[in-house]
Amino acid sequence: MRATSAQQAGFVPMYRVSPFVRRFAWALLGGVFLATLWVNLSPASYYDAMEYRLIELAKPAWIAGDVLVITPMTVTSELLMPLFLFFVGKELWEALVLQRGALSGRRALLPAGAVIGACLGALAVWLAHSAVFVADEWVHWAEGWPLPFGSEIILGYVAGRMVFGPAHPALHLLLLISIATSILGILAAGLASPGGDLQPLWLALPVLACAALAWLNRRPQTDDLTERDRRRGQTLWPYAVAGLVSWLGVVAAGLPGALGLLPVIPLIPHAERAFGLFAEAEEYLHDPLNRLAHSLVKPLAVVLFLFGLTRGGIDLAAFAPTTITVLLSTWLGKPLGLLFGALLMAQLFRLPMPAGVRIRDLVLVAILSGIGFTVPVLSLDTALPGGAMAEAARLGFALSLLAWPAALLLSRALRRAG
């Protein structure tokens, strides 16, 4: 589709997505594959390795929680995965604030309706099924309700690329919905079940970090900047320090460490124009936010492999009522809610469908939104008690990947039908 026709219809065309997104997918799948083999062949050695206590210290009373326990799992989830959330959070922020961003102005309404509908649909089915089929008597029936919110960003994009092709505008919509629902999911999980007693005073640290960046980025009244001013404006270490301070405050407050870098994103200077989510063109931009993102590309492939290895081990014998709850929420509640929310928003505000996206494409996006693995698994320890219930949920999220071939088969059937 030509960019001009897409712009006239009010939707940014799908720019070429950088190939590193597919490398992320294969790194994640590689880690999951190795972990699944290991946990099914030798579960004891797998859990001994992943839960090995590297550090165990008593915490001061003024920090949330009683004991600081560092394991390979917590290193990956709390220290490394915040880099991934920063990477995808940057894309969502730019879509909201940049010129021609995919979520600027009225463009935000239809995706927002889809996101809200998807989360409410998943929540309704989770609560309904949990109320009827309680997994354990000692577990509250609504336990884990934020888990099905998160959609699969990386694997979802690869699946969508196979379903729609590499340049279809529906891919852009799928990425927007996946990123937004994932961030909402991990935020809801952290607020609903904080790690230990919540200590909100520690959230002053992210606020101070943002205030320091706002002061640093204050602009001189004149346009006659010296070369020294320009170089100082391009240095990255202040943003890295602010991110570290923000992360420390979030963790000390008892919230998931994965959220720790998100507060500083709006305060980092960014480009003036959007090129699309994960656009290959962004590799040629030199603003601080894009430079930070570029510096993470190679490390994140390793991070996602380690996440798959430490958190992606799927016990194939863990099937339980929670598995069904996960699948119904992701395969039924979320897609139906997404469709209802998007179409309701379009009707209320008289919105056209995004350029190049038809109703049947929206149906396929809804089905692909039923894939949820990375962010839901990241939130498992926060949202659910450990043990059999968590393993049953992990199996359910792994099985949700079957929405991938289902969407692919449906897309081929729709093409044949014309």
Domain with residue 348: its CATH number is 1.20.1530.10
Residues 320 and 229: their CA atoms lie apart, in Å, by: 60
Nearest to 76 by CA among 402, 344, 378: 378
Residue 3 lies in a domain: no
Number of domains in the chain: 1
Contact 110, 345 (CB under 8 A): yes
Residue 310 lies in a domain: yes
Residues 8 and 304: their CA atoms lie apart, in Å, by: 38
The pLDDT, as a whole number, for residue 288 is 93
SS3 184: helix
Nearest to 112 by CA among 374, 351, 359: 351
pLDDT in tens, the chain (418 residues): 344 434 433 444 556 788 899 999 999 999 999 999 999 999 999 999 999 999 887 766 666 666 778 999 999 999 999 999 999 999 999 988 887 777 888 889 999 999 999 999 999 999 998 888 765 554 566 788 999 999 999 999 999 999 998 888 899 899 999 999 999 999 998 888 755 567 888 999 999 999 999 998 886 544 555 545 555 556 899 999 999 999 999 998 888 999 999 999 999 998 888 787 888 888 888 899 999 999 999 999 999 999 999 999 999 999 988 899 999 999 999 999 999 999 999 999 998 888 889 999 999 999 999 999 999 999 988 888 778 889 999 999 999 999 999 999 999 998 888 6
Residue 134 lies in a domain: yes
Contact 382, 189 (CB under 8 A): yes
The pLDDT, as a whole number, for residue 7 is 42
Q: How far is CA 260 from the centre of its chain?
A: 14
**DSSP calls for 334-382:** HHHHHHHHHHHHHHHTTPPPPTT--HHHHHHHHHHTT---HHHHHTHHH
Nearest to 396 by CA among 373, 413, 416, 374: 373
- The dihedral through the CA atoms of 174, 176, 179, 185 has a sign that is negative
SS3 7: helix
How many CA atoms lie within 13 Å of 124's alpha carbon, on the beta-carbon side?
A: 14
- The dihedral through the CA atoms of 180, 182, 185, 186 has a sign that is negative
**Largest pairwise CA distance in the chain:** 69
Angle at 369 between CA 191 and CA 350, to 5 degrees: 95
Burial 7-19 (b: 16+ CB within 10 A, else e): eebebbbbbebbe
The token pair that represents 234 in the structure block: 């391009």
CA distance to 119, 148, 212, per residue, from 180 (Å): 10, 13, 27
The pLDDT, as a whole number, for residue 221 is 45
Structural domain that includes position 108: 15-216+230-417
Nearest to 332 by CA among 123, 178, 94, 20: 123
SS3 273: strand
Q: Residue 57: which H helix or E strand, with range?
A: strand 55-58
Residues 11 and 3: their CA atoms lie apart, in Å, by: 9
Residues 21 and 312: their CA atoms lie apart, in Å, by: 19
Residues 56 and 251: their CA atoms lie apart, in Å, by: 16
Residues 313 and 418: their CA atoms lie apart, in Å, by: 41
The pLDDT, as a whole number, for residue 6 is 40
Helix, strand, coil shares, percent, the chain, to 5: 70, 5, 30
Contact 152, 399 (CB under 8 A): no
Residue 66 lies in a domain: yes
